[in-house]
Amino acid sequence: MKHLYLIRHAKSSWSNPLLDDFDRPLNQRGKNDAPLMAKVLLEKKIFPDLILSSPAKRAKTTAEIFTEQLNFTSDIAFEKSLYLTSTKTLLDILHRIPNTYNTVFLFGHNPELTQFTNELNSAYIDNIPTCGIVGFEFFIQSWNELCKQNSTLTLFEFPKKYKE
């Protein structure tokens, strides 16, 4: 059995309109939401064997906050093709994961993460909010078997669920 958690980067700043999209940092809300959502996974005892992340600053920072909160001591695998990607590329990346990893966190961007979620899931999710987490369980032995037919949606968490 394999577990996949798709995590959209936390809220980013648009305060500098001249900054390249790739370099946009987290805003204060994002800096608050990332540790909150990491703690949600911690409380549910969900820990990664492997973390993949877009190298864009907002995704990278979100992944780093999660690793800190979850005491993940391995390196984050920054995958350039996770930035401005496609659902096909996401699937290709996941199919190449070594089978020694059973629980994978993937930090990325919308609209691709929401589109990919809906390709793997029979229930429709309109939008994964910033710092939202979607979890899947796959009844497979090898990542290259990953597909909609062997997936079960197990988790959909986002910051507003935990705020009053």
Across the chain, mean pLDDT equals 96
Q: In CATH, what number is assigned to the domain containing residue 110?
A: 3.40.50.1240
Q: Is 148 left (phi over 0), alpha (psi -120 to 50) or beta?
A: alpha
Query: Given pLDDT bands bounded at 50, 70 and 90, which one contains residue 163?
Result: confident
103: how many CB neighbours lie within 10 A of its CB? 17
Q: How far apart are CA 23 and CA 73, in angstroms?
A: 25
Q: Is the pLDDT confidence value at 164 over 80?
A: no
State residue 92's pLDDT score: 97
Cβ-in-10-Å burial (0-12, 13-18, 19+) of 110 comes to middle
Total of domains in the chain? 1
The number of C-alpha atoms within 13 Å of 162 and in the hemisphere containing its C-beta is: 17
Predicted confidence (pLDDT) per residue in 22-50, tens digit: 999 999 999 999 999 999 999 999 999 99
Question: What is the span of the domain harbouring residue 26?
Answer: 2-162
Q: What is the DSSP letter of 26?
A: B
List Cβ neighbours of 62 (8 Å cut-off, separation of 6 or more).
7, 9, 10, 26, 30, 34, 53, 107, 131
Q: How far apart are CA 31 and CA 26, in angstroms?
A: 6
